[in-house]
Amino acid sequence: MQKLLLIDDIENAENKTLCCVFDDKIDGIDCVTPIKAELKAKSLGEFIQITGHVSGVVNLECDLCLEKFEYKLDFNIDELYSKTSIVEDYTNSDKEFEITDGQFINDLNGEKEIDIYDLLYQSVILSFPNKKVCGINCKGKDYLTEEDTFDPRLEVFNNLQINPKK
């Protein structure tokens, strides 16, 4: 199982395309099943494009009830890496450069390899939903009592009277 892709291996591969398979658990992620990824790395001159599909099952914690639940991963990866430093190209130029949707590029800064393990870790984390909820009917738990929710600083509003304008 490959965790590093060497740039030279991609450049020397047939059609400058290299395929790799990842099938392992990722540290820092509560994996129920191994994360499976079928990736294709292709050299595009000054860039390397990595595309593929990721699947697996992880445990997440529900934001409402705080119970663990299984979340199925099923997404595609499409990442672009620059072999040369693109930051220097634009910081030494008078031109303005705006990154639009689909133009985010990872700068390898002269590195000779791409860390697939790190790419998959970041991609899996970013694929999690913003609000992790175990189910559509989850109403959460009543952890707080009325005493827990009382804030003595708000006591001053108990005697507040509002007179409507006439």
Question: Which is more confidently placed, 1 or 117?
Answer: 117
Q: What percentage of the chain carries pLDDT values higher than 90? A: 46
Give the alpha-carbon dihedral of 126, 129, 134, 137, to 10 degrees: 180
The pLDDT, as a whole number, for residue 151 is 73
pLDDT, tens only, 91-150: 555 666 555 555 567 777 777 889 999 999 999 999 999 999 998 888 876 654 555 556
Per-residue pLDDT band at 2 (split at 50, 70, 90) = low
Which of residues 74 and 109 earns the better pLDDT score? Answer: 74
More confident residue, 137 or 39: 39
pLDDT in tens, 48-62: 899 999 999 999 999
- For the chain, give the number of residues: 166
* Residue 78, φ and ψ in degrees, nearest 5: -150, 95
Amino acid at 2: Q
Angle in degrees, CA 132, 135, 138, rounded to 5: 95
Concatenating the DSSP letter of every residue in 91-154 gives HTSSS-----TT---EE-TT-SEEEHHHHHHHHHHHHS-SS--S-TT--------HHHH--GGG
What is the chain's mean pLDDT, rounded?
A: 83
